[in-house]
Amino acid sequence: MATPYQGNVTSATQGGHGAVSAPIIRTIGLSDLHHALRLGWEDFKAVPSHAIILCLIYPVLGLVLARTVHGYSVLPLLFPLAAGFALLGPFAAIGLYEMSRRREDGGQATAWDALEVFRSPSFGAMLGVGTLLFALFVTWIATAQAIYTAAFGYAIAADIPDFAGQILTTSQGWWLIVVGCSVGFLFALVALCISVVAFPMMLDRHATAGEAMATSIRVVAQNPVPMAAWGLIVAALLVLGTIPFFLGLAVVIPLLGHATWHLYREVIVKDPNARPVIPEPHQRKPAADFPANLFPWRRSDRG
């Protein structure tokens, strides 16, 4: 089981209103990854319809992007797009973290609970880190396109068999595989280091973007082997999720989202001063109020 990390732990500045300590990082093992995945699967089974509704947009977005990127043949970019989901996944799953948090505190999670992240005091910080991940995603796609162009020029593959033949039976194709996977690994490593627990921490502790990313880096440094294994698990599940036609991501993304919340709980000691979430009963929302219902803080401001 995970054991508390007793190394150097820095504390936030102590003021007249009390002391706030920095999060304590545990040293975890591979069994803790399995535990997080098991709990994530339990969360997914408890609210499968809500998770699928939230995440179906994700594979659909991938298909749309695959058909519209720059008007080029989409075949060279299908794999980079699928791999790029690992970069955007931590931000795409913020609603799932909220549902897992409420279930953890004994509440009954609903789709409306996922929308509560928009009212979080740290939503601006989450949006900032999400924008950073999106910039990383766009840079990766542009880099992947440049690597393909360096290997094959601007020639367009006629069809899937032709494209597969170019990649698997030519020296340029094998160069593309080696270089592309190596560069993609670097992008994935950066995303993992800055975001592995960043979004759950911002949601749970209302940390700033800088604090959350710094803690994620410390987590990876303290647990290099488990975090590397987690990255491989995420990559393998995302590859499986692209079959068929990205639709498997409707299951993979919520599973990984819920599991990431539980991984955060495994690796970060829970704040002893944290108050449990007390779910409020949801009132029926008139259909005429859509889409205003998606922005509940606007109604409170008017009141």
User: Is it the case that residue 293 has pLDDT exceeding 70?
Assistant: no
- Main-chain dihedrals φ then ψ at residue 18, nearest 5 degrees: 120, 175
Average pLDDT of the residues in 50-61: 58
In the prediction, which pLDDT does 158 show?
Answer: 62
pLDDT value for 69: 52
Mean pLDDT of 21-44: 92
- Buried/exposed 189-198: b ≥16 CB within 10 Å, e otherwise: eebbbbbbbb
Q: Report domain extents, the chain.
A: 28-271+290-295
> Does the pLDDT at position 295 exceed 80?
no
Q: Is the pLDDT of residue 12 over 50?
A: no
pLDDT tens string 65-87: 555 554 456 677 778 877 787 88
pLDDT at position 280 over 70: no
Query: Across the chain, what does the average pLDDT equal?
Result: 78
Residues 6+ apart with CB under 8 A from 208: 122, 125, 202
Whether residue 273 is predicted with pLDDT greater than 60 in this model: the reply is yes
SS (H, E, C) the chain: CCEECCCCCCECCCECCECCECCCEEECCHHHHHHHHHHHHHHHHHCHHHHHHHHCHHHHHHHHHHHHCCCCCCHHHHHHHHHHHHHHHHHHCHHHHHHHHHHHCCCCCCHHHHHHHHHCCCHHHHHHHHHHHHHHHHHHHHHHHHHHHHHHCCCCCCCHHHHHHHHHHCHHHHHHHHHHHHHHHHHHHHHHHHHCCHHHHHHHHCCCHHHHHHHHHHHHHHCHHHHHHHHHHHHHHHHHHCCCCCCCHHHHHHHHHHHHHHHHHHHECCCCCCCCCCCCCCCCCCHHHCCHHHCHHHHHHHC
The confidence band for 9, taking pLDDT boundaries of 50, 70 and 90, is: very low
Dihedral pair phi/psi, residue 4, rounded to 5°: -60, 140
What pLDDT does 39 receive? 94
- Amino acid at site 48: P
Phi and psi torsions of 9, nearest 5°: -120, 115
Rounded CA-CA distance 79/85 in Å is 10
pLDDT at 269: 92
Please choose, from the candidates 183, 117, 98, 109, the residue with its C-alpha nearest in 3D space to the C-alpha of residue 144: 183
Tell me what pLDDT residue 153 has. 84
% the chain with pLDDT above 90:
39
pLDDT (average), residues 177-197: 93
Specify the higher pLDDT residue, 215 or 165: 215
Look at residue 133 and tell me whether its pLDDT is greater than 90. Answer: yes
In sequence order, the β-bridge partners of residue 6 are none
pLDDT digits (tens, 9 = 90+) for 216-235: 999 999 999 999 999 999 98
- Interatomic CA distance for residues 292 and 294, integer angstroms: 5
Give the residue-averaged pLDDT of 161-167.
80
Q: Is the pTM of this model over 0.75?
A: yes
Given a cut of 70, whether residue 283 has pLDDT beyond it is: no
Residue 289 to residue 17: CA distance in whole angstroms: 42
**pLDDT classification of 298: cutoffs 50, 70, 90:** very low
Strand partners, 27: 3
Work out the pLDDT band at 21, boundaries 50, 70, 90: low
